Amino acid sequence: MNLRKTILATGVAFSALATASFAHAEPTAEVLHWWTSGGEAKAVAALKEDFEAHGGKWVDSPVAGGGGDAAMTVLRSRVLSGDAPAAVQLKGPAIQDWAEQGALADLNDVAEAEGWDKVIPPAIQSVMKYEGDYVAVPVNIHRVDWIWANPELLAKVGATEAPKTWDEFNALADKLKAAGITPVAHGGQPWQYATVFETVVLGLGGPEFYQQALVDLDEDALKSDTMKAVFDQMRKIRGYVDADFPGRDWNLATAMVMNGDAAMQIMGDWAKGEFLAAGKVPGKDFICSATPSEHGYLFNVDSFAMFNVSGDDKVEGQKLLAELIVGEKFQETFNLLKGSIPARLGVALDKFDDCAKKSEADLLAAQDAGGFLPSMAHGMALRGHLSGAIVDVVTAHFNSDMSSDEAVERLVEAVELAKD
């Protein structure tokens, strides 16, 4: 009798279990991203841990290559072969591109349940939505226009801080060079030239010029004397990098500043993630300073878009991941590691360092001054074929002795062609 009871009870238990596992598929997400450097890997590991702690199964698909060009190539081929990853690191207008093609899943029910309209700043919401539907979630706000400097090397030529104008930048770099120190750590990849270029456009031209040239693609701005001055400055910077820059990854350039092999790097604050991952202390081992500009701030918001996939486990995985990403706790943990600041409103910066606090203060000041602008180099301002046209010219100029006049001519031509 007892035995029968037990068997019956066990049977009930088994069938209950079976029903439960049908109703609640294990949330699973294949995540395609390009966060493979030291700091980036630590940050993405925090996301994976959070996802797993909430019962998710994480399938990691990293594609090495800063800036994400290689990852985007992999994404295109995966979608073409009908095998889209569930969650993809995707940004800016590229989100709209994929949404237009009907490739993205909408996240409106999570958005509603979590009140995203109240916690995501409106300017970021518009990037995450397509025709009013949420199709992506923001992870952070990176700032692009930073100088990362080695204070010991600056001190060798009597400098106590990073330069505040481009003339000061050149004067300091000349002194460093004369003292046998590589002034600028740089990696020779198209997106890295573009990163430096856009900070010079912002600095020499001002926020309004940046908007006209790199967002509105205004022909007069593109062919202006100001743009020629930008290429002159790029030529100067070319003279401040070491001979081994071609092909170098951005994080190796950051390591040069860290190790005392070069004095400064112009790079977004993912570079801070590298310093922190190596145990370096801001203000002591390295200095963060904005590249010279009049209250400019070039923003780069990382986000994840959810591609159309089938299977309850995958759909559940996308929802769980999206919910966690926008969550307050995750936004703090992740951004402390990544070097960026939270994309969610109201996350206190108490635990963040002075560079992050400066980022937020400068962001607010830039918003007031009309200097809060999308990064062209990091896919926030233009669709890929348009930014690609600009980046090609910037790359060709940096790697040849092309004059500024010719660079400007080519820039206008390339943009016109790409617009057609």
Residues that bind ligand GAL (CB under 6 A): 34-35, 40, 66-68, 142, 250, 270, 300, 302, 378
What φ, ψ does residue 95 adopt, rounded to 5°?
-65, -45
Nearer to ligand GAL, 67 or 292 (CB): 67
Nearer to ligand GAL, 35 or 307 (CB): 35
Do 318 and 84 touch, CB atoms closer than 8 A? no
Nearer to ligand GAL, 68 or 327 (CB): 68
Distance CA 363, CA 298 (A): 9
Nearer to ligand GAL, 173 or 343 (CB): 343
**CB count, 10 Å around CB of 213?**
27
* Position of minimal CB gap to ligand GAL: 66
Nearer to ligand GAL, 12 or 64 (CB): 64
* H or E segment and range at residue 342: strand 341-342
Nearer to ligand GAL, 176 or 258 (CB): 258
Nearer to ligand GAL, 150 or 300 (CB): 300
* Residue 178 exposure: Cα atoms within 13 Å on the Cβ side: 8
* H or E segment and range at residue 62: strand 57-62
Q: How far is the CB of 179 from ligand GAL (least distance, A)?
A: 30
Nearer to ligand GAL, 7 or 64 (CB): 64
Q: How far is the CB of 67 from ligand GAL (least distance, A)?
A: 5
Q: How far is the CB of 337 from ligand GAL (least distance, A)?
A: 11
Residues in a beta bridge with 130? 133
Q: How far is the CB of 393 from ligand GAL (least distance, A)?
A: 20
Distance CA 355, CA 270 (A): 12
Report the side by side order of strands in the sheet with 303-306.
Answer: 57-62, 28-33, 87-89, 303-306, 136-138
Q: How far is the CB of 215 from ligand GAL (least distance, A)?
A: 17
Q: How far is the CB of 250 from ligand GAL (least distance, A)?
A: 6
**CB count, 10 Å around CB of 224?**
17
Q: How far is the CB of 401 from ligand GAL (least distance, A)?
A: 29
Question: Who contacts 309 (Cβ-Cβ below 8 Å, separation ≥6)?
Answer: 84, 86, 105, 315, 318
Q: How far is the CB of 142 from ligand GAL (least distance, A)?
A: 6
Distance CA 227, CA 405 (A): 9
Distance CA 55, CA 114 (A): 19
Residues in a beta bridge with 300? 142
Q: How far is the CB of 40 from ligand GAL (least distance, A)?
A: 5
Nearer to ligand GAL, 173 or 264 (CB): 264
Q: Name the nearest CA neighbour of 131 among 163, 99, 158.
A: 99
Q: How far is the CB of 298 from ligand GAL (least distance, A)?
A: 12
Do 128 and 138 touch, CB atoms closer than 8 A? yes
Nearer to ligand GAL, 212 or 387 (CB): 387
Q: Name the nearest CA neighbour of 260 among 186, 355, 196, 182.
A: 182
What φ, ψ does residue 32 adopt, rounded to 5°?
-95, 125
Q: How far is the CB of 194 from ligand GAL (least distance, A)?
A: 10
Distances from the Cα of 113 to the Cα of 134, 138, 322, angstroms: 13, 17, 12
Residues in a beta bridge with 184? 241, 264
Q: Name the nearest CA neighbour of 74 among 110, 36, 38, 46.
A: 36
Nearer to ligand GAL, 142 or 319 (CB): 142
Which residue type sits at 261? D
